[in-house]
Amino acid sequence: MKPVSAPAHPGPEHGSPLSDTDIRVRALETLLTEKGYVERAALDAIIEAYETRIGPHAGAQVVAKAWREPEFMQALLQDASKAIAALGHVSQVGDHLVAVANTAATHNLVVCTLCSCYPWEMLGLPPTWYKSAPYRSRTVKDPRGVLADFGVTLPAETRIRVWDSTAETRFLVVPLRPEGTEDWTEAQLAAIVTRDSMIGTGLACLPQGA
């Protein structure tokens, strides 16, 4: 009688919050990029494409609405999960979304120091850099340096507040509304709200030449 071989993987009792599929995908991604079979940039491009369908336009719409409607802004800052559920966006069960609004005095920056927790329902898939060890560690130690890498320079007196995401609590940054957009429609406003501006590594800016 042949011995029964051990299972190929330890199963759900391995203690990771990730599913077996997630773990396999991550292992494959790491191996393939380390061995040079795929480029991280190519993976980023795929993720980027995916984002144009499911991604940050949802968050951008929420931000644009909040800019135009003070009552909605208030509701969003009070309980973002509830406010976005009222718009028909569905969060994962147990997820708690927190919206933090930038002001002239405070700039908010989001990271997940542990792994890559991210408000998928609002921003789609996280970019590769968000999951990288340098971003996760440096954002806490040197947020201003990280912002400089992204081309964002804030006034010295602006405080930078870093938010550490968890599996239960995700953060959405409401960027500052640019001046000169007072009579813009929600769609016009949503068009200038970038993914990075909702992570805090970017700003919402008027289009070039506007």
Catalytic residues: 112, 115-117
Is residue 97 at the binding interface for Fe ion, with CB under 5 A as the rule? no
Is residue 101 at the binding interface for Fe ion, with CB under 5 A as the rule? no
Q: What is the C-alpha to C-alpha distance for residues 209 and 30, in angstroms, rounded to an integer?
A: 41
Is residue 26 at the binding interface for Fe ion, with CB under 5 A as the rule? no
Q: Select from 24-32, 112-120, 121-129, 139-147 the region that touches Fe ion (CB under 5 A).
A: 112-120
Structure tokens at 38: 């795929």
Is residue 113 at the binding interface for Fe ion, with CB under 5 A as the rule? no
Q: Which of 109, 112, 190, 203 binds Fe ion (CB under 5 A)?
A: 112
Is residue 160 at the binding interface for Fe ion, with CB under 5 A as the rule? no
Q: Which residues of 118-152 are buried (b: 16+ CB within 10 A; e: fewer)?
A: bbbbbbbbbbbbbbeeebbeebeeebeebbeebeb
Residue type (1 letter), 142 = D
Is residue 199 at the binding interface for Fe ion, with CB under 5 A as the rule? no
Classified as helix, coil or strand, 3 is coil
Q: Give Cα 206 distance to the centre of its chain.
A: 21
Is residue 60 at the binding interface for Fe ion, with CB under 5 A as the rule? no
Q: Select from 48-56, 71-79, 104-112, 122-130 the region that touches Fe ion (CB under 5 A).
A: 104-112
Number of residues counted as binding Fe ion (CB under 5 A): 5
Handedness of CA 13, 17, 20, 25 (dihedral sign): negative
Q: What is the C-alpha to C-alpha distance for residues 145 and 97, in angstroms, rounded to an integer?
A: 27
Q: Select from 3-11, 24-32, 88-96, 109-117 the region that touches Fe ion (CB under 5 A).
A: 109-117
Q: What is the largest CA-CA distance in the chain?
A: 80
Pick between residue 59 and residue 64 the one whose CB is nearest to Fe ion: 59
Pick between residue 101 and residue 117 the one whose CB is nearest to Fe ion: 117
Contact 151, 76 (CB under 8 A): no
Chain position whose Cβ is nearest to Fe ion: 117
Q: Which of 83, 99, 110, 117 binds Fe ion (CB under 5 A)?
A: 117
Binding site for Fe ion (CB under 5 A): 112, 114-117
